[in-house]
Amino acid sequence: MNGRGSSFQPVTGFLYAIGRWMRALLFDDWALKALALGISLALWFAVASQRTPAAIRLRGVPLVFLLPNDVEIGNTPRDEVELTLRGAKSALDSLNVRNLVATVDLRNYELGERVLILTPDRISMELPEGVRIEDVEPDRIPIRLERRIVREVMVEPRFEGRLPDGFEIRRVQVMPELIKVRGPESHVNALQKVATESILLDGRRNSFTAQQVAVNIPDAKVVALEPSVAVQVEIAEQRVERQISNITVINDERHAPDHASIVVRGPRSVVESLRAEDLTLKLERSDDGSIRPHLDGPPGIVGQLELVSITPKLFTKKS
């Protein structure tokens, strides 16, 4: 018996040591072990949740169309869509939604009125690996594809304000008078002329040239290939008309009457200061034999005058 009991002592000692180790493992510093277990579980749940599939809804994503070089969109389709994206939560959280652009390829579409059907596979977008487009709203967009054309249109200057009293615009020249515009065929053909931005006239008494005057096209789909022009504006004293009587008639062929009444047009300051003795009316015979009246007087004055009418209209030769 003593020999058998002694043979079991090593086994009993070993089992006793194992038991003490298990008790120490389970119960010694149990608070610290519980904290470590809690931290491990939290980390595991955090990692697992980041890998769990999730979905987000994005509103106002810019919509861009790829077109052939000679085609443009003639209507105004919506330029934003709403997208539902699905993927790992970590990948979705890393998205910079401000940089997202939805692109649709229309390069194989025919010209005319079309209804664009938007499906997830029709939209191209730079997305992280594992993130995909699940839904698109709206899923249909009316669109009109037209030829892109270029044509010339006239430029009309636009003025704002007023000149000082007694002055007027005598002449306006736009350089160039015609500019080329480009856009959808229906829009370009509907454009008869384009206006410039406003040119201010307040306080101007002298002629001037406005450089780099922008061309203003209200239709956003039409582009001016020459975006600016130069505008020459001739400003002069206001012109008025005045009747002056008892103007001496001079001729070499003894035509009657000897005096006439005339109406002249010219700068106000010049016309209002005229006297009958400042002017004469010369009768000259033209190449076709007709009598042509010609206003004569001081060069600095006559050069600014326009002869509007003469009374009498006919002159007869004295007998």
Distance CA(258)–CA(247), nearest Å, equals 8
Using a cut of 0.85, tell me whether the model's pTM lies above it: no
User: What pLDDT, on a 0 to 100 scale, did the predictor assign at position 48?
Assistant: 47
For domain 147-237, the CATH architecture is Beta Complex (2.170)
Mean of pLDDT over the chain: 86
- Helix (H/G/I), strand (E/B), else coil: 40: helix
User: What pLDDT, on a 0 to 100 scale, did the predictor assign at position 317?
Assistant: 65
pLDDT (tens digit per residue) in 46-66: 554 545 678 899 999 999 999
pLDDT (tens digit per residue) in 244-289: 999 998 876 666 788 889 999 999 999 999 999 999 988 877 777 6
297 has pLDDT over 80: yes
97 has pLDDT over 90: no
Distance CA(126)–CA(98), nearest Å, equals 12
Distance CA(30)–CA(26), nearest Å, equals 7
- Look up the CATH number of domain 53-138: 2.170.120.30
User: What pLDDT, on a 0 to 100 scale, did the predictor assign at position 8?
Assistant: 52
Does 239-317 carry CATH code 3.40.1390.10? Answer: no
Amino acid at 224: A
143 has pLDDT over 90: yes
**Cβ atoms of residues 194 and 217 within 8 Å:** yes
Q: What is the DSSP letter of 108?
A: T
For the chain, the structural domain boundaries read 53-138, 147-237, 239-317
Distance CA(261)–CA(317), nearest Å, equals 18
